[in-house]
Amino acid sequence: MSRMAHPLEDMRALIRGAPGADRAAVEAVRRRDCELTKPPGSLGRLEHLVEWLAAWQGRSPPDVRSPLVAVFAANHGVAAKGVSAYPADVTLQMVANFAAGGAAINQICLAEDIGLKVLELAIEVPTPDITEEDAFDEVGLVATMAFGMEAIAGGTDLLCIGEMGIGNTTVAAAIYHALYGGEASDWIGRGTGVDDAGLARKRAAVAAAVARIGGERDGLEILRRVGGREIAAMAGVILAARHQRIPVIVDGFVATSAAAVLHAVDDHAIDHCLIGHLSAEPAHAAVLARLGKKPLLDLGMRLGEGTGAALAASIVRAAARTHAGMATFAGAGVSGPSGGTH
C-alpha cells in the first residue's frame, strides 16, 4: 500500500527521527560552571536549567534573547455535554481579549518581555463530540499538527506553549485515560470550576469517549480520535521545535497532553521539553510521574493560556544570564575552593 494511504506514518517518522541533545554543549557548560565565582552546585536547579538549554539550543553558553509564548485556541463538540462551567462562546471572546491585551498571559508577557502569538484553529467549527465521533480523520490530524509547526516560523530561542478552549480539560482527560488506563475519575478535575453535577457529566463524557475507541494505545491514534485542534497543534509545534533545536516549556494540564501523545510514540520525544508548572488539576502530578518530568513551579495555578510556562521562562532566562554573565575565579581574582584562583 502506498505511503500516502497512511498519512500518520510520516509524522511518526519525524517523531522517532528527532535529533538528540548536544552533549558537547552540555560539557562546555559544566566546565564553565566549575570556574564561576560560587560554590559548586550552589545555584541548585538553575544549573541544570542551563545544561538543559545548552543541550537543546546546541550552544554554550546558551542564551534566551527571543522567548515566545504560543497560545492555540479551539472549540470542542463535547462542550455541548455540559462539561464546563462556561459556554463555548467564551473561547472566541477570550481570543478577542488576548488581542486587546486584557488577559493574564498578556500581562505576564509584558512584565517578562516575552513575545506572544495567539493562533486560532477554526473556533467557529468545533471538533465533533468525542463521545460520539472521532475528532479528526488522519489527513485532518496531520494538517492540524502541520499548522502548529508553523507557529515558530518567525523564530524563537525558547518556546512556551499554552492553550484556550472551553471543554479542553475534558479532552485532555480523555487522552490521559486512553493512554494510561484506570478509571475516568482518575483523570478529571473541576477545570474551569464545574459543580458536582458538571463533574459527573465530565466523568461520563471521558468514560464514553475512551470506551468508544476500544482500548487504542497508539499516541497519534488517541490524539486523532479523542483529541482537539489546539492539542494537535501543540504536539506539532513541540515536534517542529525539536527539529529546529528550540527548547520548549510546556504549560499545565491540557498542554501536557500534547507532550504525552508524542511521548507515547517515542519516550525520548519530549526530552527537549520542560514542564513549566504543576497544575492544580489533581491528575497532572500523576501524568508527570508517567512522563518522568518534574515541574519547575508549583503555584496552584490552573488558568492555561501559557501562564505557568511564561513564568517558568523568566526563571530559565535568569539562569542563562547568570551562567553567561558571572565572572570566573581567575577573571575576578577571587580565591577558589582550594585557596587559589583558577
The residues annotated as belonging to the active site are 305
DSSP state at residue 289:
H
Going from the C-alpha of 86 to that of each of 34, 79, 93, 198, the distances in angstroms are 52, 9, 11, 11
Tell me the H-state helices in the chain: 7-16, 23-35, 45-57, 89-100, 104-112, 138-149, 168-180, 196-212, 219-226, 229-243, 253-265, 284-291, 307-325, 329-332
CA count, 13 A, side-chain hemisphere, 17: 6
**How far apart, in whole angstroms, are the C-alpha atoms of residue 12 and residue 140?**
15
Asked if residue 144 lies in contact with residue 240, where contact means CB atoms within 8 angstroms, the answer is no
Q: How many CB atoms lie within 10 A of CB 256?
A: 30
Asked if residue 292 lies in contact with residue 269, where contact means CB atoms within 8 angstroms, the answer is no
Helices (H) and strands (E) in the chain, counts: 14, 5
Coil/strand/helix, residue 252: coil
Find the helix packing angle between 219-226 and 7-16, rounded to 10°. 130
Strand order in the sheet with 67-73: 115-120, 67-73, 158-164, 248-250, 273-275
134: left (phi over 0), alpha (psi -120 to 50) or beta: beta
**How far apart, in whole angstroms, are the C-alpha atoms of residue 306 and residue 98?**
12
